[in-house]
Structure formats: structure tokens, C-alpha cells
Amino acid sequence: MMKKLLPLLLTGLSLPAMAAPPEVNVSTTLASLLLVIMLILVLAWLLKRLRLPAIQGDSNMKIIKQLTVGQKERILLVQVGEEQLLLGVTQHNISLLNKLDQPLPEPVVTRPEFATQLGKILKHDAKTK
């Protein structure tokens, strides 16, 4: 009996080894790799373009306001401790334009809740249909 089972067991164990290997399409693999690389580059460009503020801790320096005056030129109002400075920023230079004697009040930014914004968008979409 053992002599009959042994060949069957060996045959059953070797079936996956005799199966054909899966076909690897090199062009599909390269296209997928290029798509992922392009996605990473686009997201990096977007993050750089949006100029998202860094995570702010207990820093004594922060940007109060900024005004874009050219493609890569800005005017910044910066709070440093108790002082406020007006800075001109270009691609190659940062210049002190003025030191404010009377600090401007910081604007209070209130962000509406997500539910409120979503409700406004849905109402707007309902009106346009």
C-alpha cells in the first residue's frame, strides 16, 4: 500500500513545480513604473507650487501676510518677537523694506467647518442643475 501512495504523493507535490511560470510583460511593468514616477513628480511640483505652511511650533517668527507682486516676487509682513518687518522677497534676494513702528493687528482667520462648506457646495450644485 505504501508503495502505491508514495508515487501519488510525489506526483501531487510536484504539480505546482511543473506549472508554467506566470508571464511577465516587460512593457506593462515599465509603463507602471513610469506612471508611479510621474505621479510622484507631479505631487512634488504641486506641493512646491502651493507653498503650504510648515508645521508651526512655538516659533517667535511667523508670516502675518504676504502679497504676490510677480511670478517669484513677494512682499511679506513678518512678526519677529514683538516687532513686525516688511520684507521684499525675490528669487535671489531678501530685502528689508521697512520696520513697522506700530505693529498691524494679526488677521483673525476663521475657517468654516467641513459640514458647512459641503452644504454650500451641495446647494450651489442643486441650483445649477
| Grid cell at residue 30 | 515599465
Percent of the chain with pLDDT over 90: 31
Mean pLDDT for the stretch of residues 66-89: 91
Cα 82 to chain centroid, rounded: 33
Whole-model pTM: value is: 0.43
Helix (H) or strand (E) holding 108: none
Of 64-73, 101-110, 120-129, the one with minimum mean pLDDT is 120-129
Q: Considering just the CA atoms, what is the radius of gyration of the chain in Å?
A: 31
pLDDT over 70 for what percent of the chain? 70
Average pLDDT, whole number, for the chain?
79
| Rounded CA separation 101/116 (Å) | 40
